[in-house]
Chains A and B, each alone.
Chain A
Amino acid sequence: MLRLIFKKLGLLVPTFIGVTLTSFFFIRLLPGDPILLLAGERGVSPERYNELMVQFGYDKPVWEQYLSYLGNLFQGDLGVSIVTKQPVLQEFMTLFPATVELSICAIIFAVVVGLPAGIIAAVKRGKTLDHTVMTTALVGYSMPIFWWGLLLIIFFSGILGWTPVSGRISLLYWIEPVTGFMLIDTLLADEPGAFASAVSHLILPTVVLGTIPLAVIARQTRSAMLEVLDEDYVRTARAKGLSNFRVIGIHALRNALIPVITIIGLQIGVLFAGAILTESIFSWPGIGKWMVDSIFRRDYPVVQGGLLMIAAIVMIVNLIVDLMYGLINPKIRHTE
């Protein structure tokens, strides 16, 4: 197992370097110039432009800039935002917990609803229930997030008034960030009602962000279950007289879970992409909107640093998923 972990970790190194290369060079390949964008319609004189190029270090050859970026990176320095003049790492750490909190809630929502839905569809294969679940999943999968989010806001917040429109917590509360996770911080703050307010603010963004993963998980679970339900060992289990629940819930599901877990792992990347839109709609102070803004403003250090951190996290999550296969299915552990 340890050898497997080291082997997988070793593979991360070239991926990591690849990410630094692409994040560094791709943003520079895009037309546009951070200094001109800062100046806007007003413009900037050529002398002043050159002064700023020197100040930001953009007067040096690109490869030299890349090497100095790598050098700083190894010292844990992701640079300073051109726009806000704040250290990139500090901004990332302030915003990241909000994205993680929302993503975790969304993936839990997707699994808790998607997994049973997929199992039911498989068991009731070809029946109305199966068709209903699969059609709903297809609709969910095709839903444009922005439209879906606004629709839910208008209906649940605007017309019914059940949920708040946007934000992380009611403005009545001021919760000092300790962990950055609002649900935990509100519990720590012990302010009556704050936790409930945080939960109510999470509902709509969780549903919106979780919709696509939910659809994917439901479809994947259904097809994986269908495959194992035809296997001999399932038939044997039934022949032994085991209850339907034990056959499906334990014998079949455990084997069907492998591809499902792979999909859940891959959904982490999808969640970060979805977070960009979800965060914008719900004024959620996470990294999605921060990244998009930085791309539009060609805030090179933020784009580079943000992409690198996100890539690192996606890689680590996938590593964990790889290792989980072994826990679920001992056969994989032995072949490795």
Chain B
Amino acid sequence: MSLKKSLLLGGSLFAAAVVAGPVMAKTLVYCSEGSPEGFTPSLYTAGTTFDASSRQIYNKLVEFKPGTTEIVPALAESWEVSDDGKEYTFHLRKGVKFHTTKWFTPTRDFNADDVIFSFDRQDNKDNPYHNVSGGTYEYFNAMDMPDLIDSIEKVDDYTVKFKLTRPEAPMIANLAMGFASIQSAEYADAMLNSKETFDQKPVGTGPFQLVAYQKDALIRYKANPDYWRGKAPLDNLVFAITPDASVRYQKLAAGECHVMAYPNPADLEAMSKDPNITLLQQEGLNVGYLAYNTQQAPFDNPKVRKALNMAINKQAILDAVFQGVGQVAKNPIPPTMWSYNNEVVDDPYDPEAAKAALEAEGVTDLKMKIWAMPVQRPYNPNARRMAELLQADFAKVGVDVEIVTYEWGEYLKRSADEKRDGAVLLGWTGDNGDPDNFLAVLLSCDAVGGSNRAQWCNDEFNELVEKAKQVSDVDERTRLYEEAQVVFKREAPWATIAHSLVSEPISVRVENYKIDPLGGHYFYGVDLK
């Protein structure tokens, strides 16, 4: 065929295919922001990886209800917790099929062996897969699983028992996270001679199964015909990997994709006016904050910290840095999270009162550093700009601010140091919707010198959070966390700045797509008009 003929034919075929779209198999194209690190979720930590693996290909014992952080049964139909809070018994779902793919045909349904294998690989150094693909299991370690899990026992084919070394109320929420995805033990046994293949060619129980992957180009999935919740309305799902946000927007506008990840804040206004695009927005499960070093004078004095907090015009920051897309933060946890204490009253913006309070504490001519992160995050899209606004606010109360920054890895390392000089801009996006994932991770005594950037150890707060970890009654936990937030506000280790809104532009053809408050992208249940 001549080039000209082939060009013409190609053009007409393409046009025909686009026009005839609805009668063909339903294929949804998602413009994602990057390549997944791999397909075994437990090996990695990036949201991009979980979007491509745990959220489409796999299931967990329990999962988040779409669009919420509510836990619902998944591969476990039900579970019981022992009275001492140290034994979790899961009753597994029957008749769940693993994917039949070009590389593997399962001969049995999902059962307890798969659960045991999925956790044993991460926990047990003698498991044949433990060291495969450079296994480091960062999430499993970060959630303290090696210390927490005493043993996992198979009671029968459809019952497993997790024995813990201590009561841990957030355990169920932890098991809904990507690292707890259940993989096939049968497939693992079959691949013992080529273990890397197990991680590159995934076999799960999830709504979509992998068809093909080309690094930095695309990922193709098809709907799992035997999915236990029922086959997905979509027939095919394609991730078109498109690293640049402006280009993703162009592709969405040109109809080359239906859903796009992470839009540029500057493009949101234009998107909201485009008749072919629906701009979905939801409060994200995040917080951006400024953490004082509470171990250093004068920031060891809560009254000084409170006074500085009163000098900050948070609304101005929200307008300038977040383009107004978010809300001012008063608590360390976002308002959509259970146990959020709305009774807490934020420190008012009052530079005069702030100045007077500083003087009353004998703080005059204060010079301090504010650290600005070198990266963009949903909880802080422009830390440099935020630092400049804080600098101007603090100047009004007579505080001289020097803005410093470091390379990101260095920033994280140095800001964690207890002897660090200055207040640090940072933030957090929740992993599992449990308040413990904010309050204990970011503010407990154990986290001082690590993720507790305020280096703040307050016995009253710490006891409340520790206690809440050990009771399983949600009402009791709510009460404890609400009280902890009151202590937090009184002591003011941080200036809480903002909770950002998550925006997701989708084509008007897309139906039933829900924004995930945890920042993931799920396509089960989504349909195309």
Which residues on A are within 8 Å of B, measured CB to CB? 30-34, 36-45, 48, 52, 55, 80, 82-86, 91, 94-95, 98, 150, 153-154, 157-158, 161, 164-168, 170-172, 174, 177, 192-197, 199-200, 280-286, 289-290, 293, 298
Q: What are 11 pairs between A and B in contact, CB < 8 Å?
A: A32-B410, A48-B141, A153-B247, A153-B250, A166-B242, A167-B256, A193-B12, A197-B10, A199-B3, A283-B217, A283-B242
Are A37's CB and B409's CB within 8 A? Answer: yes
With contacts A43-B412, A167-B218, A285-B216 taken as known, whether A84 is within 8 angstroms of B10 at the C-beta atoms is no
Scoring B residues 241 to 267 as 1 if CB is less than 8 Å from chain A, else 0, what string do you get? 111101100110110100000000000
A193 B10 Cβ-Cβ under 8 A: yes
B14 touches A197 (CB 8 A): yes
Question: Do B220 and A174 have beta carbons less than 8 Å apart?
Answer: yes
Q: For residues 406 through 465 of chain B, which have their beta carbon under 8 Å from a beta carbon of chain A? A: 406-410, 412-413, 416, 426-428, 441, 450-451
Is A282 touching B136 in the complex (CB atoms < 8 A)?
no
What distance in Å separates the Cβ of B284 from its nearest Cβ neighbour in chain A?
14
A170–B8 alpha-carbon span in the complex (Å): 15
| Mask: chain B, 105-134; 1 = CB below 8 Å from A; 0 = not | 000000000000000000000000000011
User: Chain B's nearest CB lies how many Å from the CB of A190?
Assistant: 9
Q: Considering the chains assembled together, what is the distance between the CA atoms of A333 and B12 in angstroms?
A: 53
- Classify chain B: how many residues form its interface, as a range: 35 or more
Cα A41 to Cα B141 with chains together (Å): 15
Is A31 touching B412 in the complex (CB atoms < 8 A)? no
Residue of B11, B406, B451 near A43 (CB, 8 A) is: B451
Residues of B within 8 A of A194 (CB): 10
CA distance A219 to B409 in the complex (A): 44
Q: Counting CB contacts under 8 A, is B7 at the interface?
A: yes
Q: Is the CB of A43 within 8 A of B426?
A: no
CA distance A277 to B80 in the complex (A): 54
Q: Which residue of A has the minimal Cβ distance to B1?
A: A192
What's the Cα separation between A165 and B38 when bound, in Å?
A: 26
B345 lies within 8 A of chain A by Cβ: no
Q: With A31-B410, A167-B217, A172-B14 in contact, is A42–B244 under 8 Å at CB? A: no
A289 to B212, Cβ gap below 8 A? no
Question: Complex formed: what's the CA distance from A40 to B138 in Å?
Answer: 11
Instruction: Determine whether the beta carbon of A40 is less than 8 Å from that of B241.
Output: no
The distance in angstroms between the C-alpha atoms of A285 and B242, with both chains bound, is 10
Contact in complex: A36, B250 (CB < 8 Å): no
Residues of B within 8 A of A38 (CB): 45, 136, 138
Q: Are A36 and B413 in contact (CB under 8 A)?
A: yes
Q: Is the CB of B216 within 8 A of A95?
A: yes
Cα distance, A37 to B9, chains bound together (Å) = 48
> In whole Å, how far is B177's beta carbon from the nearest beta carbon of chain A?
12
Name 19 extra pairs, CB < 8 A, besides A166-B251, A192-B1, A193-B13: A33-B409, A36-B413, A38-B136, A39-B138, A41-B412, A42-B45, A42-B138, A42-B451, A86-B38, A154-B250, A157-B250, A157-B254, A166-B242, A171-B29, A171-B218, A192-B13, A193-B10, A196-B6, A197-B14
* CB contact list, B118-165 vs A, under 8 A: 133-134, 136, 138, 141-142
Q: How far is the CA of A289 from the CA of B7 in the complex (A)?
A: 30
B43 located at the interface, meaning its Cβ lies under 8 Å from any Cβ of chain A in the complex:
yes
Residue from B10, B141, B217 within 8 A of A168 (CB atoms): B217
